[in-house]
Structure 1
Amino acid sequence: MRAARSDAGFPFTAIVGMDDLQLALILAAVSPAIGGVLIRGEKGTAKSTAVRALTEILPPVDVIPNCRFSCDPDHPDPTCPDTPHGIAADAPHRTSADTPHGAAANAPHGTDASRDGSVGGGIRRAARLVELPVGATEDRVLGSLHLEKALAEGVTAYEPGLLAAAHRGLLYVDEVNLLHDHLVDVLLDAAAMGRATVERDGVSVTHPARFVLVGTMNPEEGELRPQLLDRFGLTVDVVASRDPAVRVEVMRARLTYEAGPADFAERYDGAQRELAERIVKAQGLLPDVILTDAALRQIAEICASFDVDGMRADLVTARTAVAHAAWCGRTVVEVEDVRAAAKLALPHRRRRNPFDAPGLDDQQLEDAINNTTPEEDPDDDGPDDPSGGPGGGVDPSTSADGDEQVPGEATAGPAPSGDVAGSGEPYKARLLSVRAAGVGVAGRRSRALTEVGRVVGDRARVGREAGRPHLLGTIRSAAPHQHARGRSGPGLTVRAADVRLAVREGREGNLVLFCVDASGSMGTKKRMSEVKTAIVSLLLDAYQRRDTVGLVTFAGAGATVALPPTGSVETAVRRLESLPTGGRTPLAEGLLQTAELLRVAAIRDPRRRPLLVLVTDGRATYGENAFARAREAAGWLGQRGIATVVVDCEPRRGVRLGLAAELAGDLGAEYLDLGDVAAGNLVRTVSERKAA
């Protein structure tokens, strides 16, 4: 019976209406070789609650006392940095009464003791949940080498990171889409290899790192790159149910839990214990599950029918089908195992365009299964199969397909009042960057001093600041003080104040903010379509370079923040496609709204430098002294040194007023005439001018 406590977590078996998510997490726990789970969903859908609840049902692990890497007493890793695993004198003393398998308290590692299936000196503990913060550094994730000891004593002193702590447990990354790409690469490499390697200044340390990797994200804040998305084994899209009865059940459960967490958790003790035992049983059955040639061919044909890239989809689907069969208590993979595996392993791998919404066509999946199922096998065991998850089969009502939008589809809200011009086929954009180098967030666009890149110097460490030490700089700092510190033999006496950190130059990510004139003065639908095509191409480039983007539009009597700064380029494309055209031109209001948005963005993310793209013909027709007010606003923006490009959309035929060029002068911006370059050359011309 669970001991009453006030900090009891929400039980995994009490989660309502999330069968697909629960099944994916369970299968990853049964077979970590699947490669982890990525949970995509809108805010407030209990993604984090489900992940944290999983640790309550994970089997406990036997570990060697004082081993920082949680080595298994029965199968210690020979390359573990803590080898040999001698049991220290101060190791926790366990008797046969409080050790489940009667381990001898201080028996040396590797000797047999009177116990059931373990080795003397082993202790049992709960599986760990290690949470990785978004702002974590690479040293915090992988671990670091103790530079002072290496220089003074000539020994390799390794300080383990979060990957070591997560070994044989669960590593949870909330908002994984906001994590730096190189850290995501590190995590996925470790999850796939089962090991982590730290290399610093010619010294290499490797240690085991096998864990269940779970990431959560809100797609509105930006997507993962396709290369990283593909590395997650399974993906689940979570949306709140639109069924009032289900929502009532969710509210009732949550309110009851908040009123008495311990009492609420105690109600589910039996179900939690039963689920944990079933996971252990499935793990034991996993090596005995047979994946027949027919099942392999069926998996291959299903993956081919969805036109996925590479072979990872086939392998993950096969591993997931084997895990599902073990979870259901079967020793042979059947059709329902392949169906369940495909629904979890393929949705995020069938994307062909960066702006395509992920998802899986259920009818296409059923057709593929039916076309590859032998006649003697059942061809439809789908939703009625009672073994899909802890509460029953997979509920098709939890599918997110109904909520997905594709480029060109209007967002929720009132229909636009003016004409809507669509964009053409986007094209590859050349690099558009901020001209002067600065200090920014690691990315792929402008030159800047960042956390990653080539070493260009060193600097003093502030307090106990984390970061990669600069070896030669540290030696130069410590060497003059050796005599005063009484050092006469080999080695160096290094103190914390001597440590110098490396200064690195790489590429930064920027805030690319579009300020778009949507008034009637923008001319014909064809011209607006050309402008939208150019902006979509720039957005595609921003997607590939992992920038933050924003969109301000002005028309009629005011300006609108159509999209606050976000990493979701897909959302920006949808907002742009649905942008109507018509009305007067409140140019000054558009510039002032842009200035306010940039001010707020600088407070929220001060290290991300902005790049403003103003798309207008320069005319201002709303209010008194409209153009004078617009020039005043432009001058105010120009004084702040914001990198800007002005795209002049004034028609070439007829009388040209040249107002956009005057605005570019006030802004201190690069000027571009749209009529000289046409839609297909817009990005190329801007990029060449910015790179000059």
Structure 2
Amino acid sequence: MPLVRSHYPFSAIVGCDAGEPDDLGLSLILTGISPQIGGVLVRGEKGTAKSTAARALAALLPPVDVHPADRFSTDPADPDDASPDGPFEPGGPLESRPVRLVELPVGATEDRVLGSLHLEQALSHGKVAYEPGLLARAHRGILYADEVNLLPDHLVDLLLDAAATGRVTVERDGFSMEHAARFLLIGTMNPEEGELRPQLLDRFGLTVEVAAPRDPAPRAEVVRRRMAYDADPAAFAARHRPSEEALAARIAAARSRLGEVRLPDAALHKIAEICAAFDVDGLRADIVTARTAVAHAAWAGRTTVTRDDIRRAARLALPHRRRRNPFDAPGLDEELLDRILGDDELPPDPPDGTTPPPPADGGPDGPDAGPGGDGPDGGGPTDGPGDGTGSGGSTHGPEGAADSDSTPQPGGTPALPDGAAPGTAGDEAPDGSRRTAPAAETTVKATAPYRPRLLTVRGTGEGADGRRSRALGARGRRIGADRPGHRGARGSLHLVETVRAAAARAGAARSGSVRAAGPLRLRPEDLRTSVREGREANLILFCVDASGSMAARKRMTQVKTAVLSLLLDAYRRRDKVGLITFRGQDAELALPPTHSVDIAAARLDGLPAGGRTPLAEGLLEAARVVARERRRDPRLRPLLVVVTDGRATGGKDAVARSLAAADQVASLGVSTVVVDSESGPLRLGLAAHLAARLHADHLPVREVSADALSTAVRERAA
């Protein structure tokens, strides 16, 4: 079968060149054999051949037959796959063409994806004609989205609708159009740049985690092949053409064998048992696992699904469907999977065709077996944040370091200044002596996150589409029209306002009361675009106090839970997040601004508490980060969230330097919220004074929860 080379050869990728490819190569091959699986999501660090493998797959797939004049690539053998360019003559000539690889850019417009009015036909001939978009071109082919996690929400919505229905409906610009859009969706992403919306994540049939090898030998081989390809791409492709043709022939043979593969009832029950044991949502996981197991059997040359086919399918189809919230690490407990599968091969169907009853015990260890016997995956507490185990009170150091912020301790021990934790290095006693006890640090975990109240940036911005603060942009409700390029005028062309502007100009140019005859002529200065008000994403910069006073009364647990809840809210609203911590003598940018909320949650989970409170250093570091991010993207508006009890004990003249730092932050004009972590019967109210100095909103930590705020409002209204 002839091959059309357009990219680096698939069989030349290290890991995809063996008789049994790795997970990346196998997942792409299986979806090529059975497109009904639903596509592949490839997650991994940069420089791991994610895009290279995805682009190379198209050359391995069998060509498709189409009508020569059909722009929509409908299937001539499928009577239900009607083309808007049809009808075509039955039995007419057909042409065979390679499978298309259509790339979906992150910055694509909605018109380019769905299709739009053919301007040349409209302007030259006065005809309303439809110009197909990217989804039409991808029909019966591959739609590839690099950095799929960075796609704006309106493009994700279009993909979800097309993936769910297999069709695209366009109602705009005076015409109505509907056409088929069934494609193999391949997405690649770097998790460090942000996560994927759960709705789109579930639409990918398979997912693969890739990482660069740590063994020097395969790393050297990757570099060797890449340099050979860059030196002479044609010669490199010619050397790998035999292996490419052999791989393409094997995929074509597996496709033809797909309808002959039998899925025994015992195998189907085993798949259902596995999906139930891993507590996946819905039944899509069962369907995808079954289809993948059948495709793997066809790839292996078998006509019956075996235990090994199910195992390989489950490892690819289930990891991304087990996630309960955005902070749960993806993955699969392979020990549990092996226990459910057992050691014996699956029994065949009875020869009389009757359906055998399912196993009474649900398998070797039962459908709910787990490492701890408490649920499908053990049910025990995990190390990740937000696991809902309520383990926030546990520490790795002395528990309950201080029970009061300023009162004497039992036994006559005097209280430490500013509520610092006992044993903190460098603390002063009332007599001026230095404490020599080693520094005490505690590390606590957050409890289950809750729904926080909505924090927004003041005013109206023009940032990227999101779900937090008010903004003027290309999406949202229309509030007016203006000349293109003016503030907020970034929407589509507004025909009515354009005609009205042209009419007003023409009327002003005419003298007298008699109107001149003739058509209305448009000029460039008459063009008007819509001004729309929607929501934007923001930079949420957390500045968290991790000093000894925060460790007192286990307040760090409450603080971490509040910040974790706000991080979860930032994930849902597509915000960028950053994390600054201050303790001891300095502040640290623990996480530079990023879209990866998962990493921020992990850094927060391991954050220790102890030492003095360098509040000034924390505020100054926040000011530097805000100024730097504004230079990088002037449209990205920050929201600074300072989590502290307001005490300043780090260094000489700590209070005066903190006030000066607060004035510097206030001069930036950034929207700020001070989350007051002070608790206990005796409160100094220092965080409220800090909020006033910052021109910020003051929010007690107990009121971060939206439910707590609603309860307080109801109590006051009663």
TM-score, with length taken from structure 2: 0.78
Q: Where does structure 1 lack aligned partners over 5 or more consecutive residues? A: 85-108, 113-118, 378-403, 410-414
> 1:405-442 CA deviation, whole Å, 9 max, x = no partner?
73389xxxxx9983222222222212222232322222
Q: Match for residue 61 of structure 1?
A: 64
Contact kept? 2:145, 2:186, Cα under 8 Å: yes
Cα offset for 1:237? 0.9
Q: 1:468 to 1:82 in 2, by over 3 A?
A: farther
Instruction: Answer whether contact 1:421 1:525 (CA < 8 A) is retained.
Output: no
Query: Could you say which residue in structure 1 is the equivalent of 2:37?
Result: 34
Structure 1 position 613 matched with structure 2 position 641:
yes
1: CA distance, partners of 2:516 / 2:139: 40
1:42-89 Cα shifts (integer Å, max 9, x gaps): 1221111111221222223344445332345665876433335xxxxx
1:297 maps onto 2:269 in alignment? yes
Aligned equivalents of 1:419 and 1:335: distance in 2? 48
**What residue identity is the alignment partner of 1:24?**
S
| Pair 1:639 & 2:667 matched | yes
Judged with a 3 Å threshold, the aligned counterparts in structure 2 of structure 1 residues 76 and 271 are, in CA distance, closer, same or farther, namely: farther
Matches of 1:186 and 1:263 in 2, distance apart? 41
Aligned to 1:407: 385
| CA–CA distance in structure 2, aligned partners of residues 81 and 479 of structure 1 | 37
The answer to whether the 8 Å contact 2:451/2:705 transfers is no
| Counterparts of 1:470 and 1:252, CA distance in 2 | 55
Q: How does 1:58-97 map to 2 (within 5 A)?
A: 58-72=61-75, 79-84=82-87
Aligned amino acid, residue 249 of structure 2: E
Select which of 668, 672, 678 maps to 2:699: 672
Residue 208 in structure 1 maps to residue 162 in structure 2: no
Q: Specify whether residues 78 and 271 from structure 1 end up closer, same or farther in structure 2 by C-alpha distance, changes over 3 A only.
A: closer
Answer yes or no: is the 8 Å Cα contact 1:431–1:687 preserved in 2.
Answer: no
Structure 2 residues without counterparts, runs of 5 or longer: 17-21, 350-381, 388-396, 398-438, 714-718
Does the Cα contact within 8 Å between 1:530 and 1:679 map onto a contact in 2? no
Deviations 1:162-203 (A, max 9, x none): 212222322111111111233123123323433222222563
| CA displacement at 1:236 relative to structure 2 | 0.7
Which residue does the alignment assign to 1:46?
49
Structure 2 counterpart of 1:430, from 453, 461, 484: 453
Q: Which residue of 1 aligns with 2:443?
A: 420
Q: Secondary structure at the match of 1:184?
A: helix
SS in 1 for 2:61: coil
Larger mean CA deviation between 290-299 and 525-534 belongs to 290-299
The one of 14, 22, 35 aligned to 1:16: 14
Q: 1:649 aligns with which of 677, 680, 688?
A: 677
Of residues 168, 184, 190, the one that matches 2:162 is 190
AA aligned opposite 1:604: R
Amino acid at match of 1:12: F
Q: State whether structure 2 residue 212 is matched by structure 1 residue 240.
A: yes
1:459 is aligned, of 467, 482, 498, to 482
For residues 641 and 184 of structure 1, the distance between their equivalents in structure 2, rounded to whole angstroms, comes to 34
Task: Output aligned runs, 1:317-356, within 5 Å.
Answer: 317-356=289-328
Larger deviation, residues 580-589 vs 46-55: 580-589
- Cα 1:207–1:376 shift into 2, 3 Å: closer
Amino acid at match of 2:36: A
Q: Which residue of 1 aligns with 2:612?
A: 584
Alpha-carbon distance in structure 2 between the residues aligned to 1:417 and 1:516:
19
Give CA-to-partner distance per residue, 1:324-375, whole Å, 9 cap, x none.
Answer: 2332333433333222222111111111233111111112222222399645
Aligned twin of 1:110: 89
Higher relative contact order (CA 8 A, sep 6+): 1
The one-letter code matched in structure 2 to 1:502 is: S
Alignment-derived partner of residue 578 in structure 2: 550
Q: Aligned to 1:627, what secondary structure does the other structure show?
A: helix
Whether contact under 8 Å (2:639, 2:672) holds in the other structure is yes
* Distance in 2 separating the partners of 1:136 and 1:405: 39
Kept in 1: contact 2:644–2:675 (CA 8 A): yes
SS at match of 2:587: strand
Aligned to 1:469: 493
The structure-2 alpha-carbon separation of the partners of 1:190 and 1:487, relative to structure 1 and needing over 3 Å to count, comes to farther
Greater Cα offset, 474-483 or 640-649: 474-483
Please say if 1:167 is aligned against 2:170: no
Following superposition, the deviation at residue 681 of structure 1 comes to 7.6
Indicate conservation of the 8 Å contact 1:537/1:683, yes or no. no
Equivalences for residues 369-384 of structure 1 within 5 A: 369-370=341-342, 374-375=346-347
SS at the partner of 1:438? coil
Shift of 1:535: 0.9
**TM-score, normalising length from structure 1?**
0.81
CA-atom RMSD, angstroms? Answer: 3.6
**1:584 is paired with a residue of what secondary structure?**
coil
2:152 to 149, 161, 180: 180
Change (3 A) 1:459 1:553: same
State the partner residue of 1:105.
none
Give deviations 1:286-331, integer Å, cap 9, x for gaps.
Answer: 3343334333322222211211111111121222222223323334
Partner secondary structure for residue 203 of structure 2: coil
Q: Measured at CA, do residues 495 and 196 of structure 1 come closer, stay the same or move farther in structure 2, by a change above 3 Å?
A: farther
Aligned length: 619
Residue number among 282, 292, 295 corresponding to 2:254 in the alignment? 282
CA distance in 2, matches of 1:534, 1:549: 15
Tell me, yes or no, if the aligned pair for 2:452 and 2:705 is still in contact at 8 Å.
no
> Contact (CA 8 Å) 2:551, 2:610: kept in 1 or not?
no
How far 1:496 moved relative to its partner? 6.4
Q: Deviations over 1:10-46 (max 9, x none)?
A: 2111212361111111111122221111001112211
Q: CA deviation at 1:206?
A: 1.7
* Matched residue, 1:385: none
Match of 1:561 among 589, 595, 610: 589
- Partners of 1:523 and 1:466 lie apart in 2 by 49
Residues of 1 paired with 2:185 and 2:203: CA distance? 11
Q: Secondary structure at the match of 1:550?
A: strand
Distance in 1, Cα, partners of 2:79 & 2:527: 35
Secondary structure of the corresponding residue to residue 237 of structure 1 = strand
Hey, what's the Cα distance between the residues in 1 that align with 2:257 and 2:691? 70
User: Does residue 190 of structure 2 align to residue 218 of structure 1?
Assistant: yes
Q: Structure 1, residues 210-267: CA drift from partner, whole Å, max 9, x if none?
A: 2221001111122112222111111111122233333333333333333333322222
Is the 8 Å Cα contact of residues 386 and 448 (structure 2) preserved in structure 1? no
Residues 298, 372 of structure 1: 8 Å contact kept: no
Using a 3 Å threshold, how does the CA distance of structure 1 residues 148 and 477 change in structure 2: closer, same or farther?
farther
CA distance in 2, matches of 1:504, 1:347: 40
State, as a whole percentage, how many aligned pairs show the same letter: 59
Q: What does residue 134 of structure 1 align with?
A: 106
